[in-house]
A and B are shown apart, each in its own frame.
Chain A
Amino acid sequence: MATAHSRTAARFMIAPAVLLLLAWMIIPLSMTLYFSTLRYNLLMPGMEDFIGFDNYSYFLTDPAFFAALTNTLLLVGGVLLITVIGGILLALLLDQPMFGQGIVRILVIAPFFVMPTVSALVWKNMFMNPVNGLFAFLTKAVGLQPFDFLSHAPLTSIIIMVAWQWLPFATLILLTAMQSLDSEQIEAAEMDGAGAFARFFHIVLPHLTRAITVVVLIQTIFLLSVFAEILVTTNGGPGTASTNITYLVYAQSLLQFDVGSGSAGGIVAVILANIVAIFLMRMIGKNLDI
């Protein structure tokens, strides 16, 4: 179909996007790579020495590193689990005939528009605060001790906040996918005497596989770099209970102004992200015939 002429044209058309992204990736990354081999503290200019892999060994042997790695995986995994399962359930519900569907959809979609910083501030102060928060009021109203979310379950609290923001996204994509399902197929299954569960697992869920894949891919991209929610609410603490890799790199480069270690951390984070990426791409390759 494509002529030689249009193939050349195609290369030409795709070039700006590719070149720009390549520059965006390579220039800062090579600078970061260079910095990562230096003893480079922003507060002590003129003392930059080449120190080889010292920054890496400090970063990787940092006791916080392992915790951050686990937390990153828990955070991504937890949010994905909540949003995918919650999204499917919500989509199933919203797919039913009801009154005022449009308005319900407006209500459900709203959290997606909220800035992460705002959502974190609101959740932290107005809901999870153990003295003045609404949750504290509710628990006190039923005669219980208020639960101190951010001290005793910091990571879970952050997972809840982030999941709240991403649930609408998952719901929307899954709902659109569900609506594209051939209703005759369902009816046929119904006539064959398949129960609601059987219909869900044999017809609806397989139909949703691609949509779920898309949700997982896009959300993972954003969830790997969750940052504002942590900065605003727990500062990665208490201890390192809610520090993820992104926050750890931030702490190195912008709290300690240790650009060397921060850069080494950045490179480590890039490598980890790429491992996740390869894993994801494999999955996508199976489910998404691009």
Chain B
Amino acid sequence: MARRVPTSRKWLVTIAAWAIGFLIFFPILWTILTSFKTEAEAIASPPSFLFFDWTLDSYREVQSRSNYFLHFYNSVIISLGSTLLGLVIAIPAAWSMAFVPAKRTKDVLMWMLSTKMLPPVGVLIPIYLLFRDFGLLDSRFGLVIVLTLINLPIIVWMLFTYFREIPGEILEAARMDGATLWAEIVHVLTPMAVPGIASTLLLNVILAWNEAFWTLNLTAAKAAPLTAFIASYSSPEGLFYAKLSAASTMAIAPILILGWFSQKQLVRGLTFGAVK
């Protein structure tokens, strides 16, 4: 199975891959480095890469201006809440599509995906009016609902493709043993689909975390997540590269770390049925 590869070639591949990986990662690295510089050093020419006076000033400044932890907390609640709610709605739907396919199943799935193509700006005013009437403006609950609906199609699709790989006979067998539908889904299907569900969960947490239109437009102070936090640093007066970098690092760090630690789980289910 394992083919022998000449060491020289392995080294060549390693160097090329590392170089490209570094290049792709560089903008993020540069942002993180800049966040530890002073404003003057951040725009210095020639720029210094590592040998500058490392300082936490920008972080202090950012924290003194805005309540990072509130925004962070909101981001966590909103992205996790919407993903979990989405899973609860999507698992039964994906189950029925995968194991009891009807003639229209494919059309339903495609229709669901097509709802994601609605440009959100086109419906902002109606949604804003509805939110106002239901008292959902600037509430975490309101955002959880909107983000659930936005990501639901992707969740259903991912789960569907994953469930389809599971042989229906196992579920049949459980049913023969007298398991109810509910038990079948909760005790038989779900454990078998854990990798797929985990991957779906991760992808959707990332998507929800980074969603910047609804989260910015439907919140004010109380429910504003990190996307709103970053909006106040987008072009402030004077020199701002270091502060912008610090705020950016703070906004992306949690999801970056989560993503890195869970990349194996993320990748495993991120196939959308493309791998047979």
Q: Do chains A and B touch in the complex (CB under 8 A)?
A: yes
Let me know if B260 and A106 touch, CB within 8 A. Answer: yes
Minimum CB distance partner of A7 in chain B: B100
Q: Choose among B24, B227, B260 the residue that contacts A167 (Cβ–Cβ < 8 A).
A: B24
Tell me if A51 counts as interface (CB < 8 A to partner B).
no
Tell me if A73 counts as interface (CB < 8 A to partner B).
no
Tell me if B13 counts as interface (CB < 8 A to partner A).
yes
Task: Give the residues in chain A near B89, CB-CB below 8 Å.
Answer: 16-17, 20
Let me know if B274 and A115 touch, CB within 8 A. Answer: no
Let me know if B10 and A116 touch, CB within 8 A. Answer: no
Q: How far is the CB of B142 from chain A (nearest CB, A)?
A: 13
Q: How large is the interface on A (under 10, 10 to 19, 20 to 34, 35 or more residues)?
A: 35 or more
Tell me if A199 counts as interface (CB < 8 A to partner B).
no
Task: Give the residues in chain B near A225, CB-CB below 8 Å.
Answer: 117, 119-120
Let me know if B256 and A113 touch, CB within 8 A. Answer: yes
Let me know if A273 and B251 touch, CB within 8 A. Answer: no
Tell me if B106 counts as interface (CB < 8 A to partner A).
yes
Tell me if A211 counts as interface (CB < 8 A to partner B).
yes
Task: Give the residues in chain A near B34, CB-CB below 8 Å.
Answer: 126
Let me know if B252 and A115 touch, CB within 8 A. Answer: yes
Let me know if B96 and A35 touch, CB within 8 A. Answer: no
Task: Give the residues in chain B near A117, CB-CB below 8 Å.
Answer: 212, 227, 230-231, 234
Minimum CB distance partner of B269 in chain A: A176
Let me know if A93 and B112 touch, CB within 8 A. Answer: no
Let me know if A224 and B117 touch, CB within 8 A. Answer: yes
Task: Give the residues in chain B near A245, CB-CB below 8 Å.
Answer: 119
Let me know if B156 and A17 touch, CB within 8 A. Answer: yes
Tell me if A266 counts as interface (CB < 8 A to partner B).
yes
Q: Choose among B152, B241, B256, B270 the residue that contacts A17 (Cβ–Cβ < 8 A).
A: B152
Task: Give the residues in chain A near B106, CB-CB below 8 Å.
Answer: 285, 290
Task: Give the residues in chain A near B270, CB-CB below 8 Å.
Answer: 172-173, 176
Q: How far is the CB of B59 from chain A (nearest CB, A)?
A: 16
What is the predominant secondary structure among interface residues of chain B facing chain A? helix
Let me know if A35 and B126 touch, CB within 8 A. Answer: yes
Minimum CB distance partner of B155 in chain A: A17
Minimum CB distance partner of B86 in chain A: A17
Task: Give the residues in chain A near B152, CB-CB below 8 Å.
Answer: 17, 20-21
Q: Which of A8-61 contact B (CB under 8 A)?
A: 9-11, 13-14, 16-18, 20-21, 24-25, 27-29, 31-32, 35, 42
Let me know if A94 and B1 touch, CB within 8 A. Answer: no
The answer to whether A113 and B259 touch (CB under 8 A), given A98-B14, A176-B267, A232-B234, is yes
Let me know if A93 and B114 touch, CB within 8 A. Answer: no
Bound Cα distance A123, B213 (Å): 19
Tell me if A188 counts as interface (CB < 8 A to partner B).
no
Let me know if A111 and B122 touch, CB within 8 A. Answer: no
Let me know if A180 and B276 touch, CB within 8 A. Answer: yes
The answer to whether A273 and B118 touch (CB under 8 A), given A93-B16, A107-B24, is yes
Tell me if B28 counts as interface (CB < 8 A to partner A).
yes
**Which of B43-51, B64-72, B190-198 has 4 or more CB atoms under 8 Å from chain A?**
B43-51
Task: Give the residues in chain B near A266, CB-CB below 8 Å.
Answer: 119, 121-123
Task: Give the residues in chain B near A98, CB-CB below 8 Å.
Answer: 10, 13-14, 17
- Chain A 107-134, CB-CB to B under 8 Å as 1, else 0, gives 1111111111111011101110000101
Tell me if B62 counts as interface (CB < 8 A to partner A).
no
Q: How far is the CB of B257 from chain A (nearest CB, A)?
A: 9
**7 residue pairs from A and B, CB less than 8 Å apart:** A9-B100, A27-B130, A115-B209, A172-B270, A173-B272, A176-B271, A210-B273
Closest 9 CB pairs of A and B: A266-B122, A10-B96, A107-B21, A13-B92, A10-B100, A31-B126, A273-B117, A17-B93, A28-B123
